[in-house]
């Protein structure tokens, strides 16, 4: 089987175009890495050469069944075949984004993976003598917190951890937990990773 040079594929802006572009690049890159021609992949999957070619050019809207067959034949998961990749760095400047106020707490979402919701990174400003709203993030979720400034307690029904500036904690976030400040207040960065279930 002939090996071809793998091209760099730019992801087109927009949610649907972005996913089509990601599938196009992932399919072509993997097909070439496995040494398959379009014809050979068509014979292996029962998907027409024309459709595979259209998918690789990002102009087709294949069904989930077609994508599943292509992924299986290339030894990929469906998620790997459809995963989007950044074309360049994404920067959020200080003051950008829309902060959300929940009670006394201000939370600014920095980065999230809304397409498959695998993680969320946020910055929280908690004023002095504040108790955040209870939150739980679903089965299998894990929360990481880093205290940028001030002090905070992270509390659940089963445990309590007191953190100061520069401290970090990681915990199972599927049960209710709260952030509680004392006289100083705090700024905390949180990273929540979600289960792929």
Give the mean model confidence (pLDDT) for residues 9-38.
75
Query: Do 143 and 170 contact (CB within 8 A), yes or no?
Result: yes
CA pair distance 80, 64, nearest whole angstrom: 14
pLDDT at 14 over 80: no
Q: The domain 100-193 belongs to what CATH superfamily?
A: Jelly Rolls (2.60.120.10)
Quick check: 189 and 123 in contact, CB under 8 A? Answer: yes
CA distance 119 to 112: 6
Is residue 139 predicted with pLDDT exceeding 50? yes
The secondary element (H helix, E strand) that includes residue 54 is helix 49-56
Measured in whole angstroms, how far is the alpha carbon of residue 101 from the centre of its chain? 23
Share of the chain above pLDDT 70, in %: 82
| Cα gap 147→189, rounded to integer Å | 6
- Residue 113 pLDDT class (50, 70, 90 cuts): low
Q: Where are the domains of the chain?
A: 15-82, 100-193
Q: Does 118 score more than 70 pLDDT?
A: yes
Q: Do domains 15-82 and 100-193 have the same CATH topology?
A: no
List, for residues 185-194, the tens digit of each pLDDT value: 999 999 998 8
Cα 44 from chain centre = 32
pLDDT of 6 > 70? The answer is no
Q: What are residue 190's phi and psi, to 5 degrees?
A: -125, 140
User: Band of the pLDDT at 183, cuts 50, 70, 90?
Assistant: very high
Q: Which CATH number fits domain 15-82: 1.10.260.40, 3.40.190.10, 3.40.50.2300, 3.40.50.360?
A: 1.10.260.40
What is residue 117's predicted lDDT score, i.e. its pLDDT?
54
CB atoms within 10 A of CB 52: 24
Residue of 195, 22, 188 whose CA lies nearest to 110: 188
State whether residue 116 is helix, strand or coil: coil
Tokens at residue 86, please?
């950044």
Q: What is the pLDDT of residue 178?
A: 94
Would you state the structure tokens that stand for residue 48, as one six-digit string?
């027409």
Q: How far apart are CA 171 and CA 165, in angstroms?
A: 18
Between the alpha carbon of residue 11 and those of residues 23, 26, 118, 193, the distances in Å are 9, 11, 20, 24
Does residue 127 or residue 91 have the better pLDDT? Answer: 127
pLDDT for the residue 168: 92
Predicted confidence (pLDDT) at residue 173 exceeds the cutoff of 50: yes
Instruction: Output the pTM of the full model.
Output: 0.55
């Amino acid at each position: 089987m002939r090996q071809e040079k793998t091209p760099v594929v730019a992801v087109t802006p927009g949610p649907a175009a972005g996913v089509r572009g990601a599938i196009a690049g992932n399919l072509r890159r993997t097909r070439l890495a496995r040494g398959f021609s379009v014809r050979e992949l068509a014979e292996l999957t029962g998907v027409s050469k024309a459709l595979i070619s259209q998918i690789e050019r990002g102009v087709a809207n294949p069904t989930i069944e077609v994508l599943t067959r292509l992924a299986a034949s290339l030894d990929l998961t469906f998620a790997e075949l459809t995963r989007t990749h950044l074309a360049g760095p994404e920067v959020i400047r200080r003051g950008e984004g829309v902060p959300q106020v929940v009670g006394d707490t201000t939370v600014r979402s920095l980065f999230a993976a809304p397409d498959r919701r695998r993680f969320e990174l946020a910055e929280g400003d908690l004023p002095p003598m504040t108790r955040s709203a209870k939150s739980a993030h679903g089965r299998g979720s894990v929360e990481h917190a880093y205290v940028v400034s001030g002090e905070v307690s992270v509390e659940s029904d089963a445990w309590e951890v007191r953190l100061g500036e520069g401290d970090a904690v990681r915990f199972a976030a599927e049960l209710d937990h709260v952030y509680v400040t004392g006289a100083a207040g705090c700024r905390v960065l949180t990273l929540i990773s979600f289960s792929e279930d």
